[in-house]
Structure 1
């Protein structure tokens, strides 16, 4: 799998408006990455739905972008990792048909 991680970053704003950033945390946990992926795709689909009633042409462009996003995510965070690794155990159920 390609290396991908989620990073939680704090951008302080205040007196002097220092343009620094503070990384609070990062994770490569696939469960968290899938949650973020699903949320990002969901927000993109909400944008498509919003545009459908306003301008179907823009909605079609947004839908194409969503499909590209899904394709990119499927490469970076594949679903196949969710499939269990099933193995036959001795004395298990046998089909006698």
Structure 2
């Protein structure tokens, strides 16, 4: 929902012809949060899945690998949090 809300806000700003700098930064930060949260949930499921999830035949193996790979994608770098923070701090000075 966090990610969907950020995307809907950015889309509304785009349709309105507004500056997308803040909306883009919010979508990027929401993407990082979403990917990290999903990876944590899958890691917990894997941990509590017991010995049977250690089998390569377990779909949880693939889910965990995919989630961890997504965390390494440049588009969901934690630098997006910094970018959004800097933008919001600059807006707070106005």
What is the TM-score with the length of structure 2 in the denominator?
Answer: 0.44
Highest CA radius of gyration, 1 or 2? 1
The answer to which structure has the higher helix fraction is 2
RCO higher in structure (CA 8 A, sep ≥6): 2
What is the TM-score with the length of structure 1 in the denominator?
Answer: 0.43
The answer to which structure has the higher strand fraction is 1
